[in-house]
Amino acid sequence: MACLDVENPWGLVIIASAFWIQFMAFGMATSFGVYIVELLHHFDVSLAFISLIGSINVGIFLGAGPLASILMRKMSYRRVCFLGAVLSTCGLIVLPFTMNMIFLLFFYGIVTGLGYCLLYVPSHTMSGLYYDKHRSLATGVATAGSGLGGIVFPNLVQYLIDEYGWRGSFLVVAGINLNAFVFSALLRDSPLQKKQKAKEKLAIELKEIKRNESSSQFEKENLIKDVNASELVLDILVAKEKSPEKNGTNGKTEANGVNISAVERQSLLTSESPDEDVNSNSILSVMLALLKNVPFCIFVVNNVLWNFGTVIPLILGPEYFTTIGFSQKESATLISLFSGGSFVGCVLGGVFGNIPKINRIYLFIVVNLGVGIVGLFIPLEIAHSMVGLAVVGIIWGTMFGLILGLLVVVTADLVGIHYLGDAMGFLMLANGVGCIIGPPIGGWIGEATGSSAAAFYVSAFTVIVSGLLMAIIPASRKVCKTPSKKEQDFTTEVAIPVG
């Protein structure tokens, strides 16, 4: 079971659903910078406070990942996405009736952010579960939806504001968001999840046999104590469900064409703890396992710093561009170019991550450092022309997208495919922390220094530090003997929802 073949034609539908979910979620998140200009004119509040609303939305969008992981253990991924669709749509549909900034902070910042989190984490994780050999490409294509959303939504929102005002634009966006229900409905369990559910079903049946006093002594003595001991258990279960068992003359059970004697059953399928809970990977045990993984812990800190630095240009960029002489439409266009580069980068990240000769960790480190270095050009006057910022934005966005395209596969490399769902949840928490604190601190730095450019310098240097921190991982792997991906795949199980 170290390497499972989970290739499936329905995986293409999963990728398409994850793509469009990210198109809407990230598109709306990156468009808040366009609203900042309008809200500053309408409400008498500081830039730092308005940017806090956008950062809370993105922060909860990413930071509520552990909550999404818990729900994914309790119910199907599809149901979690449906819940996310309900919350995000309800949060958007009441925004036209905003009376004050607290109202906007609660419904847009918290409710909509939580809804998008419950849409994003299950769909993105499932795009990685459906594919093994081409996982990097699959997740890269799915992540490209965030880049396309960043291209389309800022210009769309600016057009809607011009036509219907900022209140009316929220109502139209809420209507677009209703499509999330359709894409959520398409999220079918992967073969890997179905196999694990079959094992859990058999485990429950075996416990019932043990507790049933009317069971024969033979059944009690040959109780399978650990269903994960052999793939053979699944053959028995399938045979039991599809056709009656055929008993041979020599005391063997015939299932799916395989003859299994009582002795063979006992020797192959007996293990240590009969009373162990069906889902042995509790949240606490998973958390402890991830905390013991030194490279993953470094990766988590990297994500906090990375998101702190990269969210500042996305949230504060439109307002900054207007202060240096660009119109609101030009500012929206520049943000779209950033996102256009991200769209291309996500696909490239998936392609490069799928090439065996390329070390994905090293690629991640180099691109991470590149984003910080290119970010230093944003506040420089030499780049303050439409062409200059467009070039900087496309390069910055392409490398930003490369990181997004590599995120899932690098996480899988560090923790293994079976911990992917839980690891993504905790990783999203780290992302959320960085996104929440980034824009308010950036806005405060700009107001305290009297220079909007100061926030962008802090942003770029923070991203560079995050890349240097990631460089510790190759060194730590030589010092600390971390389990390889294959070892983790063999010894752990994927989080499987009930129902």
State the pLDDT at residue 270.
43
The pLDDT tens digits for 214-262 are: 555 555 455 544 444 444 444 444 444 444 444 444 444 443 333 434 4
| Pairwise pLDDT comparison (490 vs 139), residue with the higher score | 139
d(CA 494, CA 126): 11
Is 496 inside any structural domain? Answer: no
Domain contains 4: no
* pLDDT (0 to 100) of residue 486: 42
Q: Are residues 30 and 141 in the same domain?
A: yes
The total of other beta-carbon atoms located within 10 Å of residue 162's CB is 11
Contact 388/118 with Cβ under 8 angstroms?
Answer: no
With beta carbons less than 8 A apart as the criterion, state whether 453 and 324 touch. Answer: no
Residue 285: Cβ-neighbour burial (10 angstroms; 0-12, 13-18, 19+):
exposed
Determine the pLDDT at residue 428: 81
Angle subtended by helix axes 472-479 and 294-323, to nearest 10: 180
* 160 in the same domain as 199: no
* pLDDT at position 141: 82
Residue type, 428: M
State the number of CA atoms in the 13 A half-sphere of 281 facing the CB. Answer: 24
Q: How many helices (H) and strands (E) does the chain have?
A: 21, 3
pLDDT at 69 over 90: no
What is the number of domains present in the chain? Answer: 2
User: Residue 151: pLDDT above 90?
Assistant: no
pLDDT digits over 297-316, tens only?
899 999 999 989 998 888 78
* In the predicted structure, residue 438 carries a pLDDT above the cut 60: yes
392: confidence class by pLDDT, cuts 50, 70, 90: very high
Q: Which domain does 210 fall in, by range?
A: 192-269
Whole-number pLDDT of residue 209:
64
Asked which of 21-25, 220-224, 484-488 is least confident by mean pLDDT, the reply is 484-488
Residue found under tokens 């308010």: 440
248 versus 107: which is more confidently predicted? Answer: 107
CATH number of the domain where residue 68 is located: 1.20.1250.20
* pLDDT attached to residue 193: 66
482: pLDDT strictly greater than 70: no
Among the three residues 247, 269, 291, which one is the final residue of a domain in this structure? 269
Mark which of 269, 303, 331 sits at the end of a domain: 269
Q: What average pLDDT does range 85-110 have in this prediction?
A: 90
Q: Percentage of residues in the chain with pLDDT exceeding 90?
A: 22
Contact 171, 96 (CB under 8 A): yes
End position of a domain, from candidates 225, 245, 269 = 269
Average pLDDT over residues 417-426: 77
Residue 145 class from Cβ within 10 Å (0-12 exposed, 13-18 middle, 19+ buried)?
Answer: buried
What pLDDT shows up at residue 200?
66
Asked whether residue 34 falls in the same domain as residue 109, the answer is: yes
- In this structure, are 256 and 296 located in the same domain? no
Which H or E run contains 348?
Answer: helix 328-353
The stretch 35-45 carries a mean pLDDT of: 81
Does residue 498 lie within any of the structural domains? Answer: no
